[in-house]
Chains A and B, each alone.
Chain A
Amino acid sequence: MCASVKYNIRGPALIPRMKTKHRIYYITLFSIVLLGLIATGMFQFWPHSIESSSDWSVQKRSIRDVPVVRLPADSPVPERGDLSCRMHTCFDVYRCGFNPKNKIKVYIYSLKKYVDDAGVPVSSTISQEYNELLTAVADSDYYTEDIARACLFIPSIDLLNQNALRVKETAQALAQLSRWDRGTNHLLFNMLPGGPPDYNTALDVPRDRPRRYFLLSSQMALHPEYREELAALQARHGEAVLVLDKCTNLSEGIPAARKRCHKHQVFDYPQVLQEATFCVVLRGARLGQAVLSDVLRAGCIPVIIADSYILPFSEVLDWKRASVAVPEEKMSDVHGILQSIPQRQIEEMQRQARWFWEAYFQSIKAIALATLQIINDRIYPYAAISYEDWNDPPSVKWGSVSNPLFLPLIPPQSQGFTAIVLTYDRVESLFRVITEVSKVPSLSKLLVVWNNQNKNPPEDSLWPKIRVPLKVVRTAENKLSNRFFPYDEIETEAVLAIDDDIIMLTSDELQFGYEVWREFPDRLVGYPGRLHLWDHEMSKWKYESEWTNEVSMVLTGAAFYHKYFNYLYTYKMPGDIKNWVDAHMNCEDIAMNFLVANVTGKAVIKVTPRKKFKCPECTAIDGLSLDQTHMVERSECINKFASVFGTMPLKVVEHRADPVLYKDDFPEKLKSFPNIGSL
């Protein structure tokens, strides 16, 4: 291989000196080798993709080859279902057992054709929809081929349409299933029993255009009593209400299901549903109504006038947000009830109805997966999908923030805080910081994170003697992230992250910072503030450390925060931010600011006028260039993090927190925090 490649490289140079016939010979040879190489390459990659494709492994068979099972007339009929069944009485959870992924396993019986004694088929083998449904299940994560490991069984006997069934024979067929056992853990799909779902109609996505009718009824087979009520409604409210019925005088060849009539006016169905704001769903031939899906699809708000109708997936879907339920007795009031709904709520309901349709009813696959998810949630309730995940449309989900510390709670002062000092080897400065911090009354523990692997921390006897426990944690690697690790030693909720060279902060300032944190336990509470700005010329974010009237970040050189954010920083930081920070040895504070602002949706709190950690006089002139590169790097961090988060989570505020009597004309000795430094 290697040799031929080498030869190829030399080849072209030889060609001009050769005779014609040789040249042709060589060119042929050369092209063969080249083709071979290409083919080799193709074989290296091609076969894998073929193997992983599902088309390769799944059998392709014909429906006609399905084995036939003869049901003797006297084969057992299963007993009637137990109506008082509950999940914890009739469902055998032991089959589901322990499952690390909290996913149920679903088995599908292989397809058989059942015939009775006379050889007449019990039902049509399988309908297109049921095949689609089973295919969706088989393609999902729930599917298993191993009947012994399955916890839920789906028969391949098509029960979708109750009308097309021979009930007794079908029951006999079900009883034949190998794991039937009175139907335990079996899932039967008997959807939309009352009418044709008509999934093939091409229908535009409803637009937000004015709808001509306020209330529309499109059902055909209605009881005369309902008809009368509807007619009365129409008589009372005129144009706003449209009641449609079956067309009596349609010419041949036009499917009756696609037309509706009002007197002699003919309307296209289901397109006419798009013309109405509200659409009536009445008790029809069966309780479950196909019209509901037509209505949802048209973006019309269903008005359910059918007491005790259990709406689809009502266990998880909040139908109050997408429909109006009117008791049957109040049918005559329906117009008044609907009129009282404000326009904004109507729009909200339309959006919600559309979202329900798109997410859960649009296709057989969506229906199948939602069904399995609901059963899965029942069996593994601790891993269940939340109300918001089921019901909030994506636009709401995107914009909303669920603060992990949402409970308004001011932790007791007695809890105190844990100071975490990240240090490398500046022992002298470290000791000063420890001594200073230990003067803060609410300090309850001091944790030194020793980030130097080459050097041992000083002996115990050398450490300053302080009144609170002092623990030294040695790290395995010199990483900035170590500062934000959720150490077991942290017992308090409040954490003070402090650098080993910050000695300027007074005890009053730190104590006050802790008090402020108690009032804002879900925020970063820090001293010097920083700002992010949008640079229009460069079209990117810029880090700003000048003293402006606004703040969007605080430095974590000294900052209070909830220890939960340590957990988030270490385990839930999005993207590669953590590695980026460790690689660049910078911006860990910006990352923390981003993280907290992103999960809480709230701004930081800057405490006291403090603007710098070092004294303002000692800014060295030679720090200039260093400072420039530093700023560029920090700006780069902001841009990087904003792209990882996909948004700019930081919030800008114009306030800082001071003690109530700060700079007030009041005797200093009566103030709680008299010694608040400046700058």
Chain B
Amino acid sequence: MQSWRRKSLWLALLASWLLVLLGLFPLLRLAVPTSPRAGAPQGWPRWLDAELLQSFAKPGELLEDGPRPPQALRGGSCNWGACFDTSKCRGGGLKVFVYPAAGPVSETRRKILASVEGSRYHTLSAAEACLLLLLSPDTSTGECDPVPPQWDGGRNHLVLSLHPAPCPRTFQLGQAMVAEASPTVDTFRPGFDVALPLLPEAHPLRGGVPGQLRQHSPRPGVALLALAEDGGRWHVAGTDFSACPWDGRCEQDRGPKQTHPGATLPNATFCLIPGRGPDVLHFLQALQAGCIPVLLSPRWELPFSEVIDWTKAAIVADERLPLQVLTALQEMPLTRVLALRQQTQFLWDAYFSSVEKVIHTTLEIIQDRIFGPSAHPSLLWNSPPGAILALPTFSPSPSDFPFYHLQQGSRPLGRFSALIWAGALGQPPLKLIQAVAGSEHCAQILVLWSSEKPPPTGWPKTAVPLTVIDGHRKVSDRFFPYSAISTDAILSLDAHSSLSTSEVDFAFVVWQSFPERMVGFLTWSHFWDEARGGWGYTAKRTNEFSMVLTSAAFYHRYYHTLFTHALPKALRTLADEAPTCVDVLMNFLVASVTKLPPIKVPYGMWHQEARPPPLEPGGPGLRQEPQPAAQNCINQMAAGFGHMPLVSSRLRLDPVLFKDPVSVLRKKSSPPPRSCLTPTPAPDPLRFHSRVCPLVPTLFMLPRKVHRQAPGLTRESREGTAVSSSLWPGRCATNI
């Protein structure tokens, strides 16, 4: 009993201690202030009576507010809606008339005139034009032009000056738009005027120097910063740059420096350009060099700022916070630096590298304003290949173009249309049609009948619809954007071509990985002919190639639109006159858009090596070497483009198990497993594409269970739908 009592006493003691402790802790907690700021007013208060607050406007309160009349035109501030008459442009879209030059023409002006005349918007009649282009007075002649005849208060006029005007204007601008190099932000009217880049005198007319960027990431050890100096020079600062000399005001202690007086292009990651500097040329130099421009509070409008998103290619910082800018540049993540660098190059190549590009971009901006809702979306302006090469008339949706599938998260349609060009031809190319129609990806076959004779009637019955289109007997016809073409992919064929179904299938699957490129079977390569001082090309088999023949090639149907609507007419006429040129022209076009080589896929050995040129019945059957006329055409094309866009490739894309001596090895080691016994005919030309059994040693290493499961294994696409289960069709053996 006593012990129980004692124990209970102990327990009571323990319990009371515990309680005391429990009570004490919270008290202690309260006694010691946890936060030093306790008691001070903090934050925006939560009003106890917030519910009682009135709403800032009672519904219906403002309904009787006086209505406002349509805005009367105010003199100085024209805007697009008020000062431009789009009704003139309604018929044929933008038509541009340029006032002919009176008297001697300076070099710059000649280039501008040539660019406008080469543009697809040019017209010779001032009456049908909806935009009248007035070139501003020339620097060299020093004369100021009189008021042009169709001036009409400047309505629908664009006054274009690539250089700041040397003499005061003799007339009021009125309602004219001004396209001026580096306009000041104070006078620039956004959405109405166009800001141009300040071009150097010697800027090329066409093509232009490509960007200087040779690698995506900055070279290790390259200077972080280059400073723009007077006279178009750059002062390259080391990485441990002292933060003093911002705009040349501070002369002492420039830190470790290496000045290149002769170098005109900066070699640094960032190029610092003071905002009020008179020499805006620096900006273009930086772009060309792939040096990210860092602009300090620029007082001038950035070129084409209406459409170009400069935040992707340049940094516009406040000149009052130089130290902060410097720190930000030093700490900028590599990913951002890479993106900015590449964007500078893209913009340079797409819009600035030649006078022609600058002028065409200007016209494209005006065209976009006229188009209104169907203008280029921002994506088309700001990602390769740029708005000049991406025609908004093709489609309102970027995912219809071959270039934006990654950004849009889309993929090209999984079918193709075969477009067979039939020149002089007695009967339909049955074998070819059957081979193409046999492809599971084939959606339709279009035969482009381009002969004087009426098309024959005996077209074969095919699983896919076959349509005969009557062409216009011109070679460039084969690249016309026929509305009958319903798929993204086009398989362009000649009636003479011979392909097998498996070749077509494989080439199409490859094309789906590279929808912006041409995927072809037969190739040519171009070369620089030292002896003749010009370009040449050859159909000989070499270790590299740069063109694929359109007698058997996959490409995106967008290139038909581009070929017909964007190429200068002169080039297309040239191709019509010399039929082999049409291949060259198409390859030039695609290469100038993609800046990449085409793709070659394997072609059976038994086929002819090259095709006879179209529209030349009875001509040389196997043409090893292009005709001299054709050799000439590549030079004319190169002149027309202003540069040589073709890029060479040294690789061919083959099926993964192409010509693998797999079965040979198997024969050596053991009889094939039972599941692999499905025979295929021995002389099958599709050999390279037939599904091949795994090598026996590998099979042995696999557990049996997995092997049995194998037919159930498929891969799934990102969306989770099964894409292909053709991995083990019949577990066939190869026949080599």
Contact = CB atoms under 8 A, between A and B. Distances in A.
B374 A341 contact: yes
B213 A407 contact: yes
B81 A665 contact: no
Contacts of A226: 67, 70
Contacts of B426: none
Contacts of A535: 709, 712-713
B373 A408 contact: no
B43 A386 contact: no
Contact of A382 (B315, B338, B397): B315
B529 interface: no
A573 interface: no
A653 B519 CA distance: 15
A124 B54 contact: yes
Contacts of B32: none
B43 A145 contact: yes
B652 A658 contact: yes
A521 B660 contact: no
A563 interface: yes
A305 to B, nearest CB: 9
A363 interface: no
B594 A408 contact: yes
Contacts of A550: 656, 715, 724, 727
Contacts of A130: 56
Nearest to A544: B713
A509 interface: no
B47 A63 contact: yes
A45 interface: no
A329 B43 contact: no
Contact of B338 (A102, A329, A404): A404
B67 to A, nearest CB: 4
A68 interface: no
A43 B339 CA distance: 52
A556 B383 CA distance: 32
Nearest to B341: A407
Interface in B347-382: 372-375, 377-378, 382
A112 to B, nearest CB: 13
Given A3-B14, A164-B56, A551-B656, A521 B216 contact: yes
A619 B406 contact: no
A257 B59 contact: yes
Interface string A325-345: 111111000000110111011
Contacts, number: 481
B215 A396 contact: no
A340 B374 contact: yes
Interface string A217-247: 0001111111000000000000000000010
A138 B42 CA distance: 10
A59 B56 contact: no
A324 B374 CA distance: 10
Counting chain B residues whose Cβ lies within 8 A of the other chain, the interface size class is 35 or more
Given A128-B55, A381-B317, A64 B715 contact: no
A15 interface: no
23 contacts: A4-B14, A18-B4, A22-B4, A33-B18, A60-B47, A61-B45, A98-B324, A161-B56, A163-B62, A220-B63, A327-B80, A341-B373, A381-B315, A405-B216, A408-B595, A409-B345, A512-B651, A519-B597, A533-B715, A611-B660, A655-B510, A657-B652, A659-B543
B407 to A, nearest CB: 5
A47 B311 contact: no
Given A549-B692, A656-B654, A400 B406 contact: yes
A110 B68 CA distance: 38
Given A348-B397, A403-B406, A546 B57 contact: no
Contact of A135 (B44, B409, B594): B44
Nearest to A86: B185
Given A544-B713, A616-B665, 18 more contacts: A63-B48, A93-B318, A196-B57, A196-B62, A308-B71, A324-B372, A379-B318, A401-B406, A409-B213, A409-B215, A534-B713, A536-B714, A548-B656, A548-B694, A551-B656, A564-B217, A652-B723, A657-B652
B53 A195 contact: no
A664 interface: yes
A405 B338 contact: yes
B324 A58 contact: no
B81 A548 contact: no
A55 B43 CA distance: 11
A542 B311 CA distance: 43
Interface in B373-398: 373-375, 377-378, 382-384, 396-397
Contacts of B373: 320, 324, 337-338, 340-341, 345
A634 to B, nearest CB: 13
Interface stretch (B198-206, B487-495, B623-631, B695-703): B695-703
A655 B81 contact: no
A280 B525 CA distance: 58
A59 B45 contact: yes
B622 to A, nearest CB: 16
Contacts of A77: none
Contacts of B335: 404, 572
B250 interface: no
A55 B650 CA distance: 68
Contacts of B410: 399
Contact of A529 (B60, B68, B597, B656): B656
B697 A402 contact: no
A552 B49 CA distance: 63
Contacts of B317: 381-382
A97 interface: yes
B372 A326 contact: yes
B320 A88 contact: yes
Given A62-B47, A537-B712, A564-B217, A545 B11 contact: no
Contacts of A161: 56-57
B543 A656 contact: no
Contact of A225 (B11, B69, B655): B69
B484 interface: no
A552 B377 CA distance: 34
Nearest to B712: A536
A223 B377 CA distance: 34
Interface in A599-620: 601-603, 606, 609, 611, 616, 619
Given A138-B44, A196-B61, A549-B691, A4 B70 contact: no
A606 B715 CA distance: 19
Interface in B4-31: 4, 8, 11-12, 14-15, 18-19, 22, 25-26, 29
B375 A320 contact: yes
Contacts of B220: 488, 490-491
Interface in B404-457: 406-410
A574 B46 CA distance: 40
Interface stretch (B326-334, B574-582, B673-681): B326-334
B659 A405 contact: no
A338 B216 CA distance: 43
B657 A549 contact: yes
8 cross-chain pairs, A with B, having the tightest CB-CB distances, nearest first: A327-B81, A399-B409, A127-B56, A285-B65, A138-B44, A407-B342, A88-B297, A672-B543
Contacts of B338: 404-405, 564
Interface stretch (A24-32, A114-122, A434-442, A459-467): A24-32
A647 to B, nearest CB: 6
Contacts of A214: none
B361 to A, nearest CB: 18
Interface in A358-405: 379-384, 386-387, 391, 396, 398-405
A372 B714 CA distance: 50
B541 A664 contact: yes
B406 A255 contact: no
Interface stretch (A171-179, A469-477, A623-631): A623-631
Nearest to B700: A624
B186 interface: yes
B652 A542 contact: no
Contacts of A491: 219-221
B79 A655 contact: no
